[in-house]
Amino acid sequence: MIILKTSEEISVMAEGGRRLAIVFQGLEKAVGPGVKTVFLEELSRKLIREQNAVPAFLGYRAPGSREAYPYGICVSIDDVVVHGRPSDYLIKDGDLVKLDLGLIYGGFYLDSAVTVPVGDVGGEARKLIAVTKEVLRKGIEQARPGKTVGDIGHAIQKHVEKKGFSIIRSLTGHGIGRNLHEEPQVLNFGESGVGEELRAGMVLAIEPMVAAGGGATRELKDGSFVTADGSLAAHFEHTVAITEHGPKVLTVL
């Protein structure tokens, strides 16, 4: 069942999203060579506390998962697409660092993700990041009343494939609100006009995940997902409210 949010609830989510954007500012500045990814975990909790919010991922148990997630952030490097766990790994020059993070504010979840290039990552990696960021914008543009989830997926897929990259199809966006994952599922591929019709009051986590090689993935024992061919992956995400006046991105300053 899709849960529509009132304008008042969307206002609360917008404030939570603003606070999450502040957290991301601090995290992105901290990413660099020689930084342990577990430090980003510690920093994320500190920054979220400073925003009078609660880490959304900490203790979260996804449907079908073996255990509750023990961290507040996902840090995924290079071919790891999502759900990478913080560790003693030292970030190095040339890494693609994906930060995926959520918080709870006022009883509502907000979710966002960025890909941060570290030093000299090379031309293909920079193009991959630019295309993934661009298709997030293209997907958001489709988040309007009367459009469909298929319109979002089609806009993302068309541009990614035009640029010679692949959509990671096994991982998707989702509705979000008083729960981290709500209906509808938001695929990053599809056909225009197909799927759930979008209505004012829906709030979606739109999150294209793009691979430089093939789009197939495999899940590791720790619950993280990597590209099956070892190719680089990029990931960007915003929480977006659908309003009568069009899409409203919540996870920005």
- pLDDT tens string 85-110: 999 999 999 999 999 999 999 999 99
pLDDT at 67: 85
Say yes or no to pLDDT of 226 above 90: yes
Q: 224 with 83: CB under 8 angstroms?
A: yes
- pLDDT tens string 3-36: 999 999 999 999 999 999 999 999 999 999 999 9
As a whole number, mean pLDDT of residues 153-166 equals: 98
The half-sphere exposure of 81 on its side-chain side, counting CA atoms within 13 A, is: 30
Name the amino acid, one letter, at 139. Answer: G
- pLDDT tens string 39-76: 999 999 999 999 999 999 999 987 777 789 999 999 99
Domain map (residue ranges) of the chain: 7-249
CATH no. of 7-249: 3.90.230.10
d(CA 159, CA 131): 8
Give me the chain's average pLDDT, please. Answer: 97
Name the amino acid, one letter, at 148. Answer: T
pLDDT at 211: 98
pLDDT at 66: 74
What burial class does residue 223 get, using C-beta atoms within 10 Å of its C-beta: 0-12 exposed, 13-18 middle, 19+ buried?
A: middle
Exposure string over 179-193, b if 16+ CB within 10 A, otherwise e: ebbbebebbbbbeee
pLDDT at 37: 98
pLDDT at 62: 75
Residue 49 gets the label, from left (phi > 0), alpha (psi -120 to 50) or beta, of: alpha
pLDDT at 65: 73
- pLDDT tens string 160-203: 999 999 999 999 999 999 999 999 999 999 999 999 999 999 99
Classify the C-alpha dihedral 233-238-242-246 as positive or negative: negative
pLDDT at 61: 84
pLDDT at 25: 98
